[in-house]
Each structure stands twice: as C-alpha cells, then as structure tokens.
Structure 1
Amino acid sequence: MSRSGDLAQRRATLEGEWSRLIPHLKAPGPLPRAGRVLSHEVTASWARSLASVDPARASAPETADGAVDHRWSGSPLRGPVDALADELRSVADDAGFVTAVTDASGTILWTCGGRTMRRRAERVNFAPGGRWDEQARGTNALSLALRTGRPSTVFSAEHLVTALHGWVCYCAPVHGPDGRVLGVLDLSTTWDRSHPLAMATVRGLVSAVEAGLRTGAPAALPEDAPPLRLTCLGTGTAVRAGDGLRLRPRQLEILTLLALEPSGYTPERLREALYGDRPVTASTFKVRVRDLAAPHACCRAPGYRVWNGGLVPAHIAYTEGLPLMGHGRNVISDLTTDHPEVRALFAQIETQPVSDPRRRKLADELTTELVRHSVSEEIHLYPSVREHAESGDGIADKKLTDHAEVEQLLKVLEGLDAQDPR
C-alpha cells in the first residue's frame, strides 16, 4: 500500500474509534478501553474536553478581550518570531501549511500561510484571537503541547472536534530561558499532507526561537567588521581578523558555495550542489542544514545566511560554543540520551504487526532521530575525537563510514510501505 493509502487507512480507523468511544465518554463511569491506534493521552484528553466542548462546534471561541495586537506586541516571543518570519512563511507556503504561535494560555497571537490554507484555517478560527486550549477547543496538538510541555502531533479524528478531522497538526512548546512555557509553535495542514519531517521542522524552528529568547535575534555585523577569508585549495581554512575558525569541511564547502554565488541558493539547488547524484535522504539534508544553521552554531556567508534550510541576506559570521539540542541539555548529555531512545524505537517497530500503519510512523521517527544524532556527532563530537583521542583520525573515519552505510539503509527504509516485512 502507498503512503497515501496508509494515511487513508489510519484516518478511517481513527474515525471508527471516535464514533465508538465518544458516546461512552459522555456518560459517567470509567474510561472505555481504546483500540491500539489511539493513545491514552488522546482518550484522556477527550474525556476532559467533553465537559466544556461540543464536538460539533465548527470554530474556536474568541478570546474574551477580542483583538490580541497588544498581547502580541508585548510578547517575549515576538522578537524571535519576527527574526524568523521569512523562514516561517517559506515553510508554510512551500509545504502547504499554516503556521501559528500562541501565548501560554493557548490563544493564537500570530499566523502565516498561503491563501488557501489561511482561508481554511479562518473557517475554524485558527487565527489570531482564537482560543485553542483544551477547555475551549478540546483535544488538539496545541492544547496537548501546552498541557504536557512536550511536542505533540494530532492526526485527523484524534481531534475531538469533527471540524478538525480533516487536519493534522504538529506542535511544540516554546520555553523561556527560565524554563517556563511561553506558548507553542504549530504547523498544520490537511491530513493527506502528513509528513514525517514536519515535527523535525517544528522542533528546529522552536530551537531557533528559544535561542533568540536567550541571546536576542542575531544581528548583522557592522559594515566595518573584518572580512572572513576562505582558503579552499590544499588545507581549507576560514580566518577573521587573524583568528582561525573551527569549521568542518562541509561547513567550509557551504560557505564557499555561497561566497561564489551572490544570488544565493534555494534548498533544492544547495542540495544538488553539495551531493550531486548521490542518494541522500531528505531527512539527512534537512537535518544537516538545520544543525549547521542553528543560532548556537551559526554560519552566515557573504550576502546570505543558511537558516533552517533557507537562505536570507546577512554578513559572514560564525559563533562557536557547546550547543543545545532537542532535549535542552548539552551535546554529550543528548548524545548519551539518544542511544536508549533509538533502541526503544527499534523495539517498538519490531513488536508491531507487519500490517500495522504505526510501523510507518515509527520508521519515520526513527529516521529523523538517527539522522539528527549522526549529524550532531559529526559536527560536535568527531572533531574533538580527532584532536584529542589516541588514533582519533582512524576512530572518526570509521564512524563516518558507518554513518554513510546507515544513510543508505535509511534511504531504502524511507521508500518502504508499512506492510513490507523488512
């Protein structure tokens, strides 16, 4: 079965579970047993939501004070979001999503998207001023992310409200420097456009917003800033004001490509320039560019900056430091934590029946996590291994060879159906 067939089957199964469970949840008593396709988190949210939300309600209620312009202008999220606005619009337009940012109460403060998706969103008041907390709008990705403090995906009839059964939403909370949840960032689209990389994109964008909250939006260098000198023949180097910058070969390659192309690169052209005909997964490319461009390890090139997969005007700059990753800790802590999480994903895939559509979702999640993990090792760990460990070059080269083999396997995995026994 094709991926679109997997999604249609999953949607039909969820619709059946929704029709079976919702009448029982409205009655007093213990929660009925849900089918395997539904998580306890979703059914528990349904039960809580039914006390205040009619599943037939078409649109989200408006916040009590109406216009939210004043709340957005005073929000700590506005500066970092404005700095990323072009990238957020590009993601929404190119992939057919609508992007939303809320405050800590679940009220939408800002949205962007193409004309068609914004019209659809406005019909359900997925727009500034709309309330998307659980008490007002029932089970959705925004309300779950706010309640749990973790990223959340809600697909089709996992939503309590029937008007949202044609949607899929990917959402992650935005934490302030003090750890408080300040709101969420959400990408939503129609159910048939569900994509395994959407959540990775949301997490990358949220990381950029959180970095902006910690350090302020990245500013362009002053006009009299010393230029960056690239040496590309022989031993590649990057030097500014006499100080050498610690860049990996791939980073030097990207900077050189941008320096030689004043008009900049689209993500598609950059991928072609870097890899040519090599079979590189979309997951690998996007994670590599996103990690290179993260605000805590940011490369900007003459006239253009790599930023979460897009290129925008900027000056050359490079900021070193021990970056934060998806778990909010430093690189070594995250790499250590990744290992048992990846093993757990393998175990989940192996325990699912061959025909279970969740195998495809788990495989996509595994691909994203493995690529993110390997890219982080290549950028942050292996250069130190080469420099400080005995026989460090041999160790790092062996690991890079292993990564290349894994990438080939992931390319095969990305093209398999859920029913494939491999």
Structure 2
Amino acid sequence: MTARFVVHARAALIDGAFATDVRIAARDGVIAEITAGVPEQPGELSLDVVVPGFVNAHSHAFHRLLRGRTHDRGGDFWVWRERMYHEAAALTPASYRALAEQVFREMRDAGYTAVGEFHYVHHQPDGTPYPDHAMERALADAAVAVGIRLVLLDTCYLRGGVGEPLTDRQRRFGDADAHAWLDRWHALREALTGGLVTVGAAVHSVRAVTPADLAVIGRELPADVPLHVHVSEQVAENDACREAYGVTPTRLLAEHGLLRATTATVHATHLTADDIALLGSAGASVVMCPTTEADLGDGIGPAPELRDAGVTLAIGSDQHAVIDPFEEVARLELDQRLCAQRRGVFTPAQLWHAGSAGGARALGLGGAAVRGLGSETPSGAPGSAPGLRVGDPFDAVAVDAATARTRGADLLQLPLVARAADVVATIVGGTVTRRTT
C-alpha cells in the first residue's frame, strides 16, 4: 500500500519559473504529480512558496565547534587549522553523534535537505580502528535522527603534507595505504548505504596522498561513485604541488584519471586557465563555500569562468561559520560583483540551480530534480533550469515570502533576498518538519 501526501503551494518553482496555486502530490516520498492553477482542497498541507531543497555539498560537521572562537587570533587558514586539529583530537563516537545531530538539525531548519559530509576522523587518536565503523555510524545515525539526506564522503587521508608523514594529530585520519582505505571504503558502503544514507568517496587533497595513491584510487574506485577533493584552496598548496610534481593539483588529478563527470573539486579558488579547461572538459563539478572562503581569507574563486567552461557549480557550508543556503548562493553572486565591478554575473535561475540541482549532481543524488530543464539535459548540468519535477524524491523547502525581508520581492530573486530565518518548513522524502529554531 502506498502512502500519499499532498501539498498545496501558493507558488512553486517549476522549470525555472514560479507557477501559482500548485498541487504537489507524492507517493512513498516521490513526487507523482504537479498541477498548477488549481484551488486548495481539504486535507492538503497549505504552504506559501515551495522550492527544491537546498543541497549542502561540502560539510565538516565537527568544524562547527570553532564558530565564533577563532576570530580574535588573526592569522590565516594555517593558523585556523591548528585549532581545528585540537577539536578533532577530542572527538569520540558519542560526542560526534551528539554534535552532528545539532549541526544537521541546524542545516535542515535552514533549508538544506541533503548534506555531503567530507569525513576523515575515522579512527581512535592513536590510529587504531574503532569496531564496526563507529565514527561513521555516529554521523549516519545523526542524519537519520534529524531527517536529512546524508552522502558520507569517506576520505582518503594518508600524508601530513607533500613528502611528509602523518603527524600525531593526523594519525586518526589515516589508513595504512590507499589499498587499505579502499578495503575499508567498500566495507563501509556495504554497511551503511540505505534509506537516507549513501556513501561516496573523497581524497582530502593532493597534499594528503602521493601520485601513486592517486593512481591506485583512479584504477580501483568505481567510476560511478561521487569523488570529492579539496583543490587549490590555498596558493601554498599550488606551490607545493608544482615544486614536487611540476603540475597544478588539478592537472595531477587529471593525469591519474580522477577528473570525471562524477568528480567534485571543493573550493577551486586559485586555478589556472588550464585547470578551468580541464574541469570543464571532464564535465566535473566545483563546490564553492563562499562564507567559509571569506571567513578564512581564502580568496574568491573563478566561478563565472568555471560556469562558462561547462562546470556544474554547487555550494557548501564547509566549516559552518554560517549555515544558511541563501547566504551561500547570494555570496556566490555578490563576491563576483566585487571582482567584476558589475551586477548580474549569475542569473537568479543559476543561483537556484547551484543551491539545489548542482549540489545533487555533485553528490550523485538521483531523481529527475537533478536533470534540470528537460530530459535531454544531463543531470544537474550548468544552464539547466531548477525546479520540482515528477519522479524526484519530494525534497523541498517552504519559504515565507511575506516577512520583513522578503515582502514584495520577485520570487525568482529570493536567493538574493531571503535568509534561513525565512524558511518555515523542510520536506525530505515527503516528511515535513516545521522549523524548530
């Protein structure tokens, strides 16, 4: 017997435009029918403005511990990283479970319906394994408890830097070698995948592996698995890679078969023209994290150049200095205005896409919602129009368009106007959660 759930929205985003008086019917958590221009019927859940759920394509849940606790120390990314290591050392499965539930709940209430957790705190502080994937299960259990989709991006982290072994502070991040990481990854995927949880893969960065490790992963990781990598967040990372290997991090990934349509590079702040062309020709994704990149002083990445090259853009909250998908997509545009000294670098539809379908594509989440406009368009491809679609999981966000912030705004321009406080409910797989904060 199928479970039916019906929403009536005053307005809903469909194929890149807002329709009015929209009935959205779902069966077993999947959208079965969308009809515009119909009156509300008894028993339907009445909502104001309904849009596809936002996708947080890059998260480190434990970094939330640093919010508001590092700004008096100045410095740069590398100074911040020392404090991050301190927090990582203290995590246990129980404390991580409790923390992750708080962070995922904040995400859900802000309008994120899915999160890609870039996870590398695998083992006990001395590097010995926990039994039965305890840290990974802590994250999965937290996501299920909150009701948010989780793509657990289990991360290969084998080196402390280019040419350097893991330090004592990094020991719990690492496996013996790339083969051992792959063995653990396969076991983890078999143990955890199901329901709201899937398992993807990540390489922490080219600092954290050798070219030989990349070659192993390129050969042995299934090509259909989403693979995320921190790339060129810092100039120092590029310099170290060039000095050691004679190429940029992006070129090094390409040389070892790790630039694919299923690859998502994270940050991609300091790229060359060749890097951009490589990412575009591969049909890869780039996950930008504007609030984190601003908070850490990383720089502003070449988002319009990446878009024009055919790269799919997505957003992430990364270290959670801010958890607000509207803030991320707004800064994607506003930061570029500061660089270009003009407005309208991205259209509103492109901002909606980066916040939803672009992230779904980067995380390998299926369903028609990641196809964008028209069945002829590849999943989540740049230039496709965002919107709710029949055949998708019913993952959506209800926004109040009559708050002090949003009143009078063109609905398509809400990414530049609304904020997380304007979210009134999230829907994940047809399950509605009213905002709790």
Structure with the higher fraction of residues in strand conformation: 2
Structure with greater Cα Rg: 1
Q: TM-score, normalised by structure 2?
A: 0.23
TM-score (norm 1): 0.24
Question: If each structure's helix is expressed as a fraction of its own residues, which one has the higher value?
Answer: 1
Higher RCO (CA-CA < 8 Å; seq separation 6+): 2
